[in-house]
Amino acid sequence: MRHLDAAGLSRWLATAPGEVTLLDVREPWELQVCRLEGSTHIPLAQLPARLGELDPARATVVVCHHGVRSLRAAAYLEHCGFADVVNLSGGIDGWARSVDPAMAVY
């Protein structure tokens, strides 16, 4: 599993739009505060039951608040055979603080 910070993800999304699945594993109330546009929302607890909604052949960047839940989810995806899994280190909080300062933080 790879790790990427918010600036690295921003560059990747700018150079390869549409080539990555953004998987947000936060709870629904957290998405009401802020979210990355175009992300797929599957709360961590629902991931095993909803795994079929994701393409294991696509690059998947897993996002949570600070990077802890996403790390667990990324490890699970790798265990399930996903080929290219990336954990967003620092999570959505890191994104808001370094890439999109207009984004709400909590």
Q: What are phi and psi of 63, to 5 degrees?
A: -125, 140
Active-site residue (options: 22, 62, 64, 85):
64
- Give percent of the chain above pLDDT 90: 97
Q: How far apart are CA 101 and CA 85, in angstroms?
A: 26
Report pLDDT for 50. 98
Report pLDDT for 55. 97
Q: How far apart are CA 90 and CA 106, in angstroms?
A: 13
Q: Tens digit of pLDDT for each residue in 75-93?
A: 999 999 999 999 999 999 9
Residue 69's contacts (CB-CB under 8 Å, 6 or more residues apart) are: 25, 26, 44
Residue 5: pLDDT over 90: yes
Report pLDDT for 18. 86
Q: How far apart are CA 24 and CA 92, in angstroms?
A: 9
Q: How does the average pLDDT of the chain come out, rounded?
A: 97
Give the fold, CATH level 3, of 2-98: Oxidized Rhodanese; domain 1 (3.40.250)
34 catalytic, yes or no?
no
User: What residue ranges do the domains of the chain occupy?
Assistant: 2-98
